Structure 1
Amino acid sequence: MLLTVAVIGAPHGLRGEVRLDLRTDDPERRLAVGNVLETEPADAGPLTVTRARTAPDGATFVIFDEARDRTAAEALRGVRLVVESDEDEGDDDEGWYPHELVGLRAVHVDGRELGTVAALEHLPAQDVLVVTEPDGGEARVPFVAELVPDVDPGAGTVTLDPPRGIFAGDPAEWEDEGEDEEAGTDEGAGTRA
C-alpha cells in the first residue's frame, strides 16, 4: 500500500524550493537529503531530496534535484510524494485518501452508530475525520490509531474510540448510563445476558 508523505505546495523563491503539506509523522526520515520519493501522478517523479528545512513557523520546505527553478517547482504543485508501506510504519492512516473515507459509517468500538464520515481534513498537526452525526451536527476526531482503531472500506465502516465530549450523543454518556445501571440494586445485576 502506498502511503502519502506530503503534498507539494506553492514554490518559495526562485531556486525551486517548495512548501510541503506534510502527511507523515516522521518527516526527518522520509525527507532526508538523498531520499528518492515516488510520486502521484507517477510521471512527475521520482524526486530526489537535495535540501529540506523547517521554518520557524513550522512549515516544511524542500528542494528536489529534478526541479531547480521556480517554473519547475510550480509544475510540481499538487503532486503527492508517496512511499510503499513498511513494517516500521506506525500509522496506517497516512495511506487513506478523503475519497476512500467519505461516506463510511462511523461506529463506536462497542458497535453503536455515531454517524457518517463527511470529510478528512488535513491540519498542520494531524489529519482529522469529520463525522456528520444523526442529528446533523458535526464531530471532529483526530485520525490517530488510538482514536480510530479500524478502517474497513469493504464493510463500509470506520471504528472510533472517541474521548468524552467529541460527539453530541457522547459515548461517555452511554458509559455513564451503564455505570448507573450497574450501580443499581442486585435485582438488575442478574438480568443482563
Structure 2
Amino acid sequence: MSTDRICVGAIAGAFGVRGEVRLKSFCTEPGAIADYAPLWTEDGARSFGVTLTRTVPNGLAARLSGITTREAAEALRGTRLYADREKLPPPGEDEFYHADLLGLDVLDTGGTPLGRVAAIQNHGAGDILEVRGAAGGALLLPFTRACVPTVDLTAGRVIVDPPEEAAP
C-alpha cells in the first residue's frame, strides 16, 4: 500500500437491515472520518462516500455510497478504509501516521541495527512497535519517548533504547 493513503477506519459489520455499517474510526475525532471521504479499500478498487447516521456502542453507524442491503454491508466486514493523505491534517510535532513508520530501519542507541518496523500494534495501553530482524525474530517495543527517543523520517530510521528485558 502506498503512503498516498492512510488507514482511517474499518468496517466492523452491518448495522440494521437497510445497508448501514458499523464503522470503527481510527481518527482522533471519530466523526471526522466522514470529512475525509471518499474512503478507499486497501487495494484501491472501491471507494465510498460516507454519511454518519449515529453513534453506536464501539463505533459509528454509517451509510456508504452504493451499499443498500444488510448483505452488502455484512460482506464488507473487516474491510479497512483509507483516505487520501492530502485530505488529512498534517501530523503535529512528535506525531506520526503509522504508515510513515512502517519499513523504517531500527537501530539501538549505539547504532546497532535491530531490524525494521514491521507493524504498529495497539491493544489499548498505547502503541507498540513490532520490529522484525533479518533472522525473522520479533521485538516488541513501547512507542514512548523513553523507548523511542528519535524518529527520523528523512533518514528513514528509528533510534530505540529498549528496556533491558526487551533487548535482543
TM-score range with shorter-chain normalisation?
0.5 to 0.7
Residue 5 of structure 1 deviates from its aligned partner by 0.8
Helix, strand or coil for the counterpart of 2:167? coil
- What whole-Å deviation, never above 9, does each CA across 1:12-55 have from its counterpart, x for those lacking one? 443334344543333232346xx633313444223222324252
Structure 1 distance, partners of 2:144, 2:17, is 36
Higher relative contact order (CA closer than 8 Å, sequence separation 6+): 2
Question: How has the CA–CA distance of structure 1 residues 137 and 3 changed in structure 2, closer, same or farther, with 3 Å as cutoff?
Answer: closer
Q: Which residue of 2 aligns with 1:8?
A: 11
Q: Which residue of 1 aligns with 2:55?
A: 53
Q: Identity, % of aligned pairs?
A: 19
TM-score (norm 2): 0.64
| Contact residue 7 and residue 80 of structure 2 kept, 8 A | no
Counterpart code for 1:158: R
Number of aligned residue pairs: give it.
155
Consecutive unaligned residues of structure 2, counting only runs of 5 or more, are none
Consecutive unaligned residues of structure 1, counting only runs of 5 or more, are 170-193
Counterpart code for 2:141: R
Superposition CA RMSD, Å: 3.7
Q: Which residue of 2 aligns with 1:139?
A: 140
TM-score (norm 1): 0.57
Matched, 1:30 2:33: yes
| Higher fraction of helix | 1
Q: Which residue of 2 aligns with 1:116?
A: 115
| Contact residue 39 and residue 50 of structure 2 kept, 8 A | no
| Higher fraction of strand | 2
- What whole-Å deviation, never above 9, does each CA across 1:112-167 have from its counterpart, x for those lacking one? 225123631443545532124699562233388x9362346xx6x53134474573
